[in-house]
Amino acid sequence: MALLVSKFGGSSVASIEKIKHIATRVKAMKKDGNDIVVVVSAMGDTTDELIALARATGSEKCYREMDMLLATGEQQSASLLAMTLNNMDCKAISLTGWQAGIQSDSTYSKAKISGMANQRIFNEINQGNVVVIAGFQGISPEGDITTLGRGGSDTTAVALAASLNAEKCMIFTDVDGVFTADPRIVADAKKLSKVSYEEMLEMASLGAGIMHSRAAECAMFYNVKVEVGNSFNNSPGTLITEVANMEKHRVVSGIAHDKNCARIAIFDVPDKPGIAMVLFKALAKVGINVDMVIQSAMRDNRNDIAFTIEQDDLEKAVPVMEKLVKEICASGMSYVDDVAKVSIVGAGMQSNPGVAADMFEALAEEDINIHMISTSEIKVSCLIDLCEIEKAVKVLHKKFALDKLV
Ligand code: ASP
Ligand code: MG
C-alpha cells in the first residue's frame, strides 16, 4: 500500500463531467489499495474570472483581499470532487489549504510555503478518506489566507508529497507529458519518458508551461519522484527524477520558449561601481524578477544596460526605471514587449562543446536576429523578435534532431 499524491489542473476539473471522469480514476487508485491525497486547481478559467471581478471593483491591488478571493476557486473544485467521490461510494473529504496545515509566509499573491502540519491529513487518511486539498493556498503566521502565485497548485502537490513522504506525486494535466517542444508548434515533437530535475527546472522556468518552476525546485530539493501525465488517457507520462548520466547521447533534451518577455534598455549609464546594484535593487524591491542582462562595452565612461523581465511586470517596472534614469544621470531608456525567448535545454550540454554555436548557426540560417543571449550549464537562451518565435522553435527542434529521439 502506497501513499500517492495526485494533482489535477484546471483543465482536468473544468466541468462536472470532467470531475466525474477524474473521480473514477481516483476511485480506481484507491481501490488498488493506495492512500490517496488529491490536490486540485480551480475549475477551468475560474481564477482569471475572479481576477476580472476584482478589477471591476478597482481594488485588485488589495493583495490580502485578492488572496481571500482567489483561494475560493480551488475550494469549489475540491468540494465538488469530494462530493462526486462520495456519490460514487468512495469516501472523501475536502480541505482548504489551512485545514490541511499548509503554512506560508505573508507575501500575498506570491506566498512561499514555510511549513506543513500534516496531522489532519493523516487523521482523515486513517478514517479511510480520500483527502482532496484545495491547491495554491496556505495560511500566513497572522492567520490570513495566502496564495502561492499563478500555477501554484503544482507546488502544493509536490510540497505535500515531500512532507507526507509519498511514494510518488502525479501531476495530471491536458497533455501526455513533457515534450521536446510545444506540440502545438512542432507537430513531430516527441514525448520524453524521463527528464532530470535540473532539466525540468530549466524547462519550467523557461515557460514550457507544464509545471510551476517552484514545484520543480521543491521536487529536486526533497527528491520527490514526480510523474506528469494526461488526466484524459492512460498513456505513460514523463518521469521527473534524479537520473545519473541519463542518456549520455542526448545533448539537447528540449526546446523551450517564453512569450511573456519584455526588454528594457537604459542608455549611457555612468560606468562606476554600484550602478547595477541600484537598478536591480529597485526592481527587486517591487518584486520584479530580472532574467537576462547585458551591458555593452564601455565608451567615454558610459555604457548601456539592457535586461529582460516578465511582460506582466512591465507596467510596474517602467515608472521605477524612468525615475532612476534621472537619478543616475543616464541619457534615457526604451522598452519593448514584442520579444520572446527561445532556449535549448539538456543535461548533456555540459560535456559537449559547440552546442551554443550550433544553436546560433541554426538561427542565422533562418535570418533570425539574436538580441540577447544567456547561458547556464544546461541551457542556452536567446532573445529574439516575438514574430519569429515559432520559426525558431521549429528550426532548433530540427537542428538538434529531436524529432528522431527514441
Ligand atoms: N488556479 C490557480 C491559477 O490558475 C492556481 C493553479 O492553477 O495552479 O493560477
Ligand atoms: Mg490554473
Interval 9-41: pLDDT, tens = 999 999 999 999 999 999 999 999 999 999 999
* Final residue before a domain boundary, out of 174, 199, 219: 174
- pLDDT at residue 389 above 70? yes
Query: Could you tell me if 37 and 144 lie in one domain?
Result: yes
Say how many Å lie between the CA of residue 172 and the centre of ligand 2.
Answer: 12
Helix runs in 88-184, H state only = 119-126, 153-163
* End position of a domain, from candidates 142, 174, 206: 174
List pLDDT tens digits, range 56-66.
999 888 999 99
Do 132 and 271 fall into the same domain? no
Q: Are residues 18 and 164 in the same domain?
A: yes
What are the C-alpha distances in Å from 38 to residues 94, 244, 261? 9, 30, 33
Whether residue 262 sits in one domain with residue 169: no
Average pLDDT score, the chain:
94
Q: What is the CATH number of the domain that holds 376?
A: 3.30.2130.10
Evaluate whether residue 236 is within a structural domain.
no
Helix (H, G, I), strand (E, B) or coil at 389: helix
Residues whose Cβ atom is located within 5 A of ion ligand 2: 10, 41
Look at residue 170 and tell me if it is in a domain: yes
Report pLDDT digits (tens) over 67-97: 999 999 999 999 999 999 999 999 999 999 9
- Residue 192 domain-assigned? no
19, part of any domain: yes
* CA atoms of 373 and 371, how far apart (whole Å): 7
Asked whether the predicted pLDDT for residue 204 surpasses 90, the reply is no
12 and 117 part of one domain: yes
CB-CB contact of 43 with 73 (8 Å)? yes
101 Cβ inside 6 Å of ligand 1: no
- Residue 324 is assigned to a structural domain of this protein: yes
Residues 159 and 268 in one domain: no
Ligand 1 in reach of 229 Cβ (< 6 A): no
Q: Which domain holds residue 118?
A: 3-174
Is the same domain home to 281 and 375? yes
Please give the pLDDT value at position 348.
84
Residue 210 has pLDDT above 90, yes or no: no
Domain co-membership, 268 together with 159: no
Q: Is residue 230 part of a domain?
A: no
- Are 163 and 308 within one domain? no
Of the ranges 118-127, 160-169, 276-285, which one carries the lowest mean pLDDT score? Answer: 276-285
Q: How far apart are the first and last CA of the chain?
A: 33
Do 268 and 397 reside in the same domain of the chain? yes
**Does the C-beta of 155 come closer than 6 Å to ligand 1?**
no
Is residue 24 located within the same domain as residue 170?
Answer: yes
Question: What's the pLDDT score for residue 18?
Answer: 97
Residues 139, 273 within the same domain: no
| Final residue of a structural domain among 150, 174, 198 | 174
Packing angle of the helix pair 46-57, 63-87 (nearest 10 deg):
150
Does the residue 28 lie in any domain?
yes
Q: What is the mean pLDDT of residues 366-391?
A: 95
Q: Is the CB of 97 under 6 A from ligand 1?
A: no
**pLDDT tens, position by position, 171-199:** 999 889 999 999 889 999 999 999 999 99
The verdict on residue 362 lying in a domain is yes
Report the number of distinct structural domains present in the chain: 2
pTM (predicted TM-score): 0.86
